[in-house]
Chain A
Amino acid sequence: RIAYLSDVPTRARLNAVAMVGELGLGYLGQVFSSAEILTAIMGRYLRTGIDRFVLSPSHYVTAMYAVAVELGQLDREALETYGRDGSPLETIGSERTPVVDFTCGSLAQGLSVGIGYALANRLGAQGARTVVFGSDGEMEEGQTWEAAMFAAHQGLTDLTLVLDCNDSQVDGPVSSVTTIEPLVDKWVAFGWHAVEVDGHDFGELTDALDHAADEPKVIVARTTATAALSTLEGLDDAHFIKVDADLKSSLADELEGRL
């Protein structure tokens, strides 16, 4: 299964280069940083029809589309409508978009919804796991910590938060805007089981996901928005990347070389 999935992140990045390249600009850095994380969650951890998944920063939905196509969860043709007027494949995920279980977008609302899922699951004794995908920028919002405190208080051991820590927000590196570190220590202090992994290492991600903890679990996944692509070296705005024809073609070439 892991061997089958090994090309998915690179293929997802290629999908995203085509999608965003077609529009000329968009949320490409998020796809580059999160491709392995989403592949591990969507392709390996979640049990279809049982487990729940919340994408808290909905502008990552481009990555979900790109990964979902590779996993057979979304028709490839649908990607051609990405970001087009009238298309359900919106650039920031919403109720209309496929593969999204809950609308977020206004940041840091996803973890609270995930807690609601986990509480409902416990009430119904349904045996479902809830995964929330979050991002480091969302640590700036107070709601994150309201939710963190309450999830631990309730002992929601079936709840997992995976944080894409790509050190990127609209105004630049998260670390240049405010200090969110030490993240692992913060989550531990809030009563969570916290583990730090290389977010581009599929094995580390799946091990961390599979680890059963006695507390709600957070995986602090360290990533880069350039995914070590030399084409993007020195990129200063990873939040919203302009992709002209030249950049599109060199990104595609470099990614093809990884397959």
Chain B
Amino acid sequence: MLRPAPYETVLKPYGTALVELALQRDDVVCLGADLTRQTETDLFRDRIPERFFNAGMAEANLIGMAAGLARSGLKPFVNTFGVFATRRPYDQVAMSVAYPNLPVRLVGFMPGLSSPGGPSHQAIDDVSLMRSLPNMTVIDVADSGEVSAVVEEIVDLDGPVYLRLKRGEIPVIFDDSYSLSLDEATVIRPGGEVVVVASGMMLAPAIKAAQVAGDAGVDVGLVYVPVIKPLDSATILEAARGSRGVVTAENHSIIGGLGSAVAEVMAEAGLGVPLRRIGVQDVFATAGSRPYLFKEFGLSARALAETVWELTGTSAPLPEFAEVTEERTGVHEPV
């Protein structure tokens, strides 16, 4: 299922997939807010200009227009940075999109600390905001093949979708035996004294941490959860039951996202298994490069491994190891 690290990357799988879908379907329209190249939708604009609408920096109006287009039978894909897709027009998303249960596909780029731009550009609460809205599906994928597949997977889904996406170069983590499911989480490593539950950009560090642990004789299970809502609680509970601890890993605040969702289902099921949440620890981050931010704010394979060691109580020493890397295509993509 897994390819070996360092991972190769694919450039702009989302923008490419959206154009391919729209060439087959007249009902797909593309909206944006002055971030066209940054959301890979320059590909759409250049190919299908009549179905591309740039609302400018006016996100409240952007969301309302998408709602009107959706009520008219179209499938709007609304593309901007995650912060501007969720925080800024929250009331419009709630009342114009989520409440009427309209098929608007909100695509929020630069999730969590993947943006070097600091707190104004880092969507650390987007999953939390969208997860709390009734009718909303929330997706946080990791792999380039998933990004390509998810566009077609969600186009006919009932109701609104929030899809958070890293932009630009996306790692190829899975081999061809994996296919994205919107219904089921994927058990990557079964069993485990400790079970890691990861989403989005934390999948690669989670794989690394699990491998390091395995090599050191520490038994770690790994469950990958690309769909945060509706959550596949059955798979998570089955993996967690009887373990000595669960560690969630998300590129997001530990409040309201994957960690909270897993905590809710574990508590309701009465598992009584300790939980640790790796993520942004209820703080605003700073500007900085992605490797720096992920290390500084604890979104690392190292932080995961330390937490696994703590939960198992193992006396085995935690080995030194390097963080996971990607073989970048070298295409320059400034903010």
Interface string of B99-143 (1 = CB under 8 A from A): 110000000000000000000000000000000000000000000
In the complex with contacts A113-B65, A143-B64, A146-B61, A121-B96 CB distance below 8 A: no
Q: Chain B's nearest CB lies how many Å from the CB of A105?
A: 7
Interface of B is mostly: helix
In the complex, A111→B68 CA distance in Å? 10
Interface residues in B1-35 by Cβ distance below 8 A to A read: 29
A residues in contact with B96, CB < 8 Å: 102-104, 109, 112-113
Question: Does chain B have a CB within 8 A of A72?
Answer: no
Task: Return chain B residues, CB-CB under 8 Å to A117.
Answer: 68-69, 71-72
When distances are taken between beta carbons in the complex, the residues of chain B under 8 Å from A115 are 61, 64-65, 68
CB distance from B27 to the nearest CB of A (A): 9
Binary flags per residue of A140-165, CB closer than 8 Å to B gives 1, else 0: 00110011011000100000000000
Q: Considering only CB atoms, which chain B residue lies closest to A143 in the complex?
A: B60
Which residue of B has the minimal Cβ distance to A154?
B53
CB distance from B293 to the nearest CB of A (A): 32
B91 with A116: CB separation less than 8 A: no
CB–CB A116/B100 < 8 A: no
Chain B residue nearest in CB terms to A124:
B72
How close is A84's CB to chain B, nearest CB, in angstroms? 22
Interface size bracket, A side: 20 to 34
Q: A105-B95, A120-B74, A123-B50 are in contact. Are A112 and B65 (CB under 8 A)?
A: yes
Name B60's closest neighbour in chain A (CB-CB).
Answer: A143
Q: What CA separation (Å) do A54 and B71 show in the bound complex?
A: 12
Closest chain B CB from A243 CB (angstroms): 29
Tell me the complex Cα distance, A77–B183, Å.
45
Chain A, residues 91-103, CB within 8 Å of chain B (1/0): the string is 0001100000111
User: Any chain A CB within 8 A of the CB of B43?
Assistant: no
* A103 surroundings in chain B (CB, below 8 A): 95-96, 99-100
Residues of B contacting A142 with CB < 8 Å?
60
What separation, in Å, do the CA atoms of A149 and B95 have in the docked complex?
22
B63 at the interface (CB under 8 A from A): yes
Contact status A120-B69, CB under 8 Å: yes
What is the bound-complex CA distance between A32 and B189, given in angstroms? 67
A106 at the interface (CB under 8 A from B): yes
Shortest C-beta distance, B75 to chain A (Å), equals 11
The chain A residue with its CB closest to the CB of B76 is: A116
Q: Is the CB of A147 within 8 A of B64?
A: yes
Give the docked Cα–Cα distance between A149 and B68 (Å): 17
* The one of A95, A124, A149, A150 that contacts B100, using a Cβ cutoff of 8 Å: A95
Q: Is the CB of B99 within 8 A of A119?
A: no
Contacting residues, chain A, for B70 (C-beta < 8 A) = 116
Q: Is the CB of A120 within 8 A of B73?
A: yes
- Asked whether A21 is an interface residue with its Cβ less than 8 Å from the other chain, the reply is no
- Residues of B near A112 (CB, < 8 A) are 60-65, 67-68, 92, 96
B105 to chain A, nearest CB (A): 14
Q: Which residues of A contact B65 (CB under 8 A)?
A: 112-113, 115-116, 119, 147, 150
Q: Which residues of A contact B100 (CB under 8 A)?
A: 95, 102-103
Contacts of B60 in A (CB 8 A): 109, 112, 142-143, 146
- Is A114 positioned at the interface, with any CB of B under 8 Å from its CB? yes
Known: A106-B91, A121-B72, A123-B74. A116 touches B67 (CB 8 A): yes
Q: Separation in Å of the B22 CB from the closest CB of chain A?
A: 12
- The answer for the CA separation of A109 and B62 in the assembled complex, in Å, is 10
Q: Is the CB of A113 within 8 A of B74?
A: no
Interface check B242, CB cutoff 8 A: no
Return A133 CB to nearest CB of chain B, in Å: 15
Interface string of B167-211 (1 = CB under 8 A from A): 000000000000000000000000000000000000000000000
Per-residue CB contact flags for chain B residues 36-74 toward chain A (1 = under 8 Å, else 0) read 000000000000001101011010111111111111111
Given known contacts A106-B95, A123-B51, what 12 new A-B pairs fall within 8 Å (CB)?
A: A102-B68, A106-B94, A109-B91, A112-B62, A113-B64, A114-B68, A115-B64, A117-B68, A119-B69, A123-B29, A149-B58, A150-B65
Q: Nearest 4 CB-CB pairs, A to B? A: A116-B68, A112-B64, A120-B72, A146-B58
Residues of chain B having any CB pair with chain A under 8 Å: 29, 50-51, 53, 55-56, 58, 60-74, 91-92, 94-96, 99-100
Contact residues of A with B, CB < 8 Å? 54, 94-95, 101-106, 109-121, 123-124, 142-143, 146-147, 149-150, 154
Q: List 15 A–B pairs whose Cβ atoms lie within 8 Å, in order of A's numbering.
A: A102-B67, A106-B91, A109-B96, A112-B64, A112-B68, A113-B65, A113-B68, A116-B72, A118-B68, A119-B53, A119-B68, A120-B68, A143-B60, A150-B56, A150-B61
